C-alpha cells in the first residue's frame, strides 16, 4: 500500500523548479535556460551549466554576464568537498533571491491560504484564514484577497507594492491564459475575468489557475515531480481535480480547461455535482459526496449545523470501528476513484500518480482492494502500473503552487520571447 509522504516544502534540498535533463529543451532563449538551470540547482558552476546545455563556455559567460548585470543572478561561494581551508574558494552561480518577491494565494470553500516567496523560491511568510463556507460575490472576493495580502505583507515586513506578481488559485473551470473563471464553487457569478478584476483592484500583476494545477506545480517545483518528465496529480479535497505534467510542463489543453477528471461522467443521470451536472466522478468521491452519504449512514438526518469536516471525521471513526454502513461508503467512493485512476493510466500512462489533499488521510480511499480494482480496470499489458504516492498535506501547498506560477510568469516576462525590458529597475527592497 502507498505510504503517506512528507510535505515537499519541508525538504532541505537546494533549488526549485523542474530538473530538466540536458538537451531536452532548446527553443527557449539561452539566458532563460541559463537562469532556470541556476534556479533549479540552487548553485551551479558555469562549466556545469555549459555542459548541461551543450553550449560553449563563452556563450554561457556572455549570458551570465547579462543576468548579473540586470540583477537576476549573482556569484556565490561554493564549498567543494575536501577543499575546506585550501586556496581560493570555488565560485558558483546562484539566483539573487531579493531580486523579486511574489505572493501565492489559494481561495477555497473553508479557508484561504497565502505565501510570499523570494525569487529563488524561498518561503518568506505564510498565513491561513478560516472562513465560513459559502460562495462569494466578486466584491467580497476582492476584499478578501486584499485583506489577506495586506496581512501577509505586514507579517513579512514588506510593502505590497514590492511584489512583482500574485499567483491565485481557486477551484473550478479556469482559463489560465485569459484569467477567466467560467465556474467556481467559491464564486457566485460565472464568466468573470478574475485576473483582470483583481489586478485592477490591487494594482498588481495577477496570474490565475485551477487549484489542482497549482498542486501539480508545487510538486513540479518543490516536490516529488522535480525530476520527472511526465506525472499526474489527483487532488481529493472539497472537490476532485487533476493536474498533468508532460515533458516537464503543465498540460492545460487547447483552451486551458483540460484535465477536469472530477467532471468526467461515471454514471448517466447520476448524483448531482456542484457544477450543476449529474454523474460526475467528483459527486461520488469528494468530501461533500461522502458527507451526503454520512447523514444517512450515521442517522444524522435533520441535524442542522453539522460541518462537513465533523461529518467526515465521524464517518471515518465509525468505519474504523467496524460500522458496516460507514465502511461501505468509503468502499463505494474508493471503487469510483479506482475507475478514475484507471482512466488516467489508460489515457496518459504517467510515470507516477500522486494522490494529494487533506482527504487522503482517509486510507479507505486507497486501500489495497481499491488499488487492486484499479489494476483490473487498467489496460492489460503485462507491465506494472505506475507507482502511486499519497501526499496528505493541507491547503498551504496549494498556495506554494500559486507562488510557483507567479515565479514562472515573472521569469517568462523577463527572459522569454515576449519579455519585458529586463533592464528596468529590480524590485528589491
* Helix/strand/coil (H/E/C) assignment for every residue in the chain: CCCEECCHHHCCCCCCCCCCCCCCCCCCCHHHHHHHHHHHHCCECHHHHHHHHCCCHHHHHHHHHHHHHCCCEEEEEECCCCCCCCCCCEEEEEECHHHCEEEEEEECCCEEEEEEEECCCCEEEEEEEECCCCCECHHHHHHHHHHHHHHHHHHHCCCHHHEEEEEEEECCEEECCCCEEEECCCECCCCEEHHHHHHHHHCCCEEEEEHHHHHHHHHHHHCCCCCCCCEEEEEECCCEEEEEEECCEEECCCCCCCCCHHHCECCCCCCECCCCCECECHHHHCHHHHHHHHHHHCCCCCCCCCCHHHHHHHHHHHHHCCCHHHHHHHHHHHHHHHHHHHHHHHHHCCCCEEEECHHHHCHHHHCHHHHHHHHHHCCCCCCCCCCEEEECCCCHHHHHHHHHHHHHHHHHHHHCCCCCCCCCCCCCC
pLDDT at 21: 74
What CA–CA distance (Å, rounded) separates 223 from 356? Answer: 12
Instruction: Select the more confidently predicted residue: 360 or 107.
Output: 107
Rounded to the nearest angstrom, the gap between the alpha carbon of residue 102 and the centroid of all alpha carbons in its chain is 15
pLDDT at 174 over 60: yes
Assess contact for 127 and 151: CB atoms under 8 A: yes
User: Would you place residue 230 in the very low, low, confident or very high pLDDT band (cuts 50, 70, 90)?
Assistant: very high
pLDDT at 68 over 80: yes
pLDDT at 359 over 80: no
pLDDT at 126 over 60: yes
pLDDT at 395: 65
pLDDT at 23: 53
What CA–CA distance (Å, rounded) separates 155 from 159? Answer: 10
pLDDT at 373 over 80: yes
Average of per-residue pLDDT across 57-74: 95
User: Would you place residue 25 in the very low, low, confident or very high pLDDT band (cuts 50, 70, 90)?
Assistant: low
For 265-285, letters b (16+ CB in 10 Å) and e give ebeeeeeebbbeeebbbbbbb
User: Would you place residue 97 in the very low, low, confident or very high pLDDT band (cuts 50, 70, 90)?
Assistant: very high
pLDDT at 4 over 50: no
Which tens digit of pLDDT belongs to each residue from 279-326? 999 999 988 888 888 887 777 654 555 677 788 888 888 888 888 888
User: Would you place residue 82 in the very low, low, confident or very high pLDDT band (cuts 50, 70, 90)?
Assistant: low
228-391: CATH topology: Nucleotidyltransferase; domain 5 (3.30.420)
pLDDT at 163: 98
pLDDT at 92 over 60: yes
User: Would you place residue 365 in the very low, low, confident or very high pLDDT band (cuts 50, 70, 90)?
Assistant: confident
Average of per-residue pLDDT across 172-188: 92
User: Would you place residue 6 in the very low, low, confident or very high pLDDT band (cuts 50, 70, 90)?
Assistant: very low
Instruction: Select the more confidently predicted residue: 86 or 53.
Output: 53
Which tens digit of pLDDT belongs to each residue from 269-281? 999 998 889 999 9
pLDDT at 383 over 50: yes
Which tens digit of pLDDT belongs to each residue from 235-265? 887 789 999 999 999 999 888 888 999 999 9
Q: Report the 3 state secondary structure along 227-253.
A: CCCCEEEEEECCCEEEEEEECCEEECC
pLDDT at 220 over 90: yes
**What are the grid coordinates assigned to 274, written together?**
456542484
Closest CA to 181 of 156, 158, 207: 207
What CA–CA distance (Å, rounded) separates 268 from 101? Answer: 48
- Name the average pLDDT for the chain: 86
Closest CA to 135 of 203, 192, 177: 192
pLDDT at 425 over 80: no
User: Would you place residue 159 in the very low, low, confident or very high pLDDT band (cuts 50, 70, 90)?
Assistant: very high
pLDDT at 382: 82
Assess contact for 402 and 167: CB atoms under 8 A: yes
Domain range 4-98, its CATH number among 2.40.128.20, 3.40.50.12280, 1.10.10.10, 1.20.1440.230: 1.10.10.10
What CA–CA distance (Å, rounded) separates 355 from 341? Answer: 10
Q: What is the largest CA-CA distance in the chain?
A: 77
pLDDT at 177 over 50: yes
Average of per-residue pLDDT across 156-184: 94
Domains of the chain, by residue range, sit at 4-98, 99-216+396-415, 228-391
What CA–CA distance (Å, rounded) separates 336 from 42? Answer: 42
Half-sphere exposure of 389 (CA within 13 A, CB side): 17
pLDDT at 85 over 70: no
Whole-prediction pTM: 0.85
99-216+396-415 shares the fold of 4-98: no
pLDDT at 80 over 70: no
Assess contact for 330 and 319: CB atoms under 8 A: yes
CA torsion 161→163→165→168, rounded to 10°? -100
pLDDT at 424 over 50: no
pLDDT at 95 over 90: yes
pLDDT at 2: 53
pLDDT at 295: 80
pLDDT at 11: 44
Average of per-residue pLDDT across 3-13: 47
Closest CA to 329 of 310, 316, 343: 316
Average of per-residue pLDDT across 47-64: 94
Domain range 99-216+396-415, its CATH number among 3.30.420.40, 3.40.640.10, 3.20.20.70, 3.40.50.360: 3.30.420.40
Amino acid at each position: 500500500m502507498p505510504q503517506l509522504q512528507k510535505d515537499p516544502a519541508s525538504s532541505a534540498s537546494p533549488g526549485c523548479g523542474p530538473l530538466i535533463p540536458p538537451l531536452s529543451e532548446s527553443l527557449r532563449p539561452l539566458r532563460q535556460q541559463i537562469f532556470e538551470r541556476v534556479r533549479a540547482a540552487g548553485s551551479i558552476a558555469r562549466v556545469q551549466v555549459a555542459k548541461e546545455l551543450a553550449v560553449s563556455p563563452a556563450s554561457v559567460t556572455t549570458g551570465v554576464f547579462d543576468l548579473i548585470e540586470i540583477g537576476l543572478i549573482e556569484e556565490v561561494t561554493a564549498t567543494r568537498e575536501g577543499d575546506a581551508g585550501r586556496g581560493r574558494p570555488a565560485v558558483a552561480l546562484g539566483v539573487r533571491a531579493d531580486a523579486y518577491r511574489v505572493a501565492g494565494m489559494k481561495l477555497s470553500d473553508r479557508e484561504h491560504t497565502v505565501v510570499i516567496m523570494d525569487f529563488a523560491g524561498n518561503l518568506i511568510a505564510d498565513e491561513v484564514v478560516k472562513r465560513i463556507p459559502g460562495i462569494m460575490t466578486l466584491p467580497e472576493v476582492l476584499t478578501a484577497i486584499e485583506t489577506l495580502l495586506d496581512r501577509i505583507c505586514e507579517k513579512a515586513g514588506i510593502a505590497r507594492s514590492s511584489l512583482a506578481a500574485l499567483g491565485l488559485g481557486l477551484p473550478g473551470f479556469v482559463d489560465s491564459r485569459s484569467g477567466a473563471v467560467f465556474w467556481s464553487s467559491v464564486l457566485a457569478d460565472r464568466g468573470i475575468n478574475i485576473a483582470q478584476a483583481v489586478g485592477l483592484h490591487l494594482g498588481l500583476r495577477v496570474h490565475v489557475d485551477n487549484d489542482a494545477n497549482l498542486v501539480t506545480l508545487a510538486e513540479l517545483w518543490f516536490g516529488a515531480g522535480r525530476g520527472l518528465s511526465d506525472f499526474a496529480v489527483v487532488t481529493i479535497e472539497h472537490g476532485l481535480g487533476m493536474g498533468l505534467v508532460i515533458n516537464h510542463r503543465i498540460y492545460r489543453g487547447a483552451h486551458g480547461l483540460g484535465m477536469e477528471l472530477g467532471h468526467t461522467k461515471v454514471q448517466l443521470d447520476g448524483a448531482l455535482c456542484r457544477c450543476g451536472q449529474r454523474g460526475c466522478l467528483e459527486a461520488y468521491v469528494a468530501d461533500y459526496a461522502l458527507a451526503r452519504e454520512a447523514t444517512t449512514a450515521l442517522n444524522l438526518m435533520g441535524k442542522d449545523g453539522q460541518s462537513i469536516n465533523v461529518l467526515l471525521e465521524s464517518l471515518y471513526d465509525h468505519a474504523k470501528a467496524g460500522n458496516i454502513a460507514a465502511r461501505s461508503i468509503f468502499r463505494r467512493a474508493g471503487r469510483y476513484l479506482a475507475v478514475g485512476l484507471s482512466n488516467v493510466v489508460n489515457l496518459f500512462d504517467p510515470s507516477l500518480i500522486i494522490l494529494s489533499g487533506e482527504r487522503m488521510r482517509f486510507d479507505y480511499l486507497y486501500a489495497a482492494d481499491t488499488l487492486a480494482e484499479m489494476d483490473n480496470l487498467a489496460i492489460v499489458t503485462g507491465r506494472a502500473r505506475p507507482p502511486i504516492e499519497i501526499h496528505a498535506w493541507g491547503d498551504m501547498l496549494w498556495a506554494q503552487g500559486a507562488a510557483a506560477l507567479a515565479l514562472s510568469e515573472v521569469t517568462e516576462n523577463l527572459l522569454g520571447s515576449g519579455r519585458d525590458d529586463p533592464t528596468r529597475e529590480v524590485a528589491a527592497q
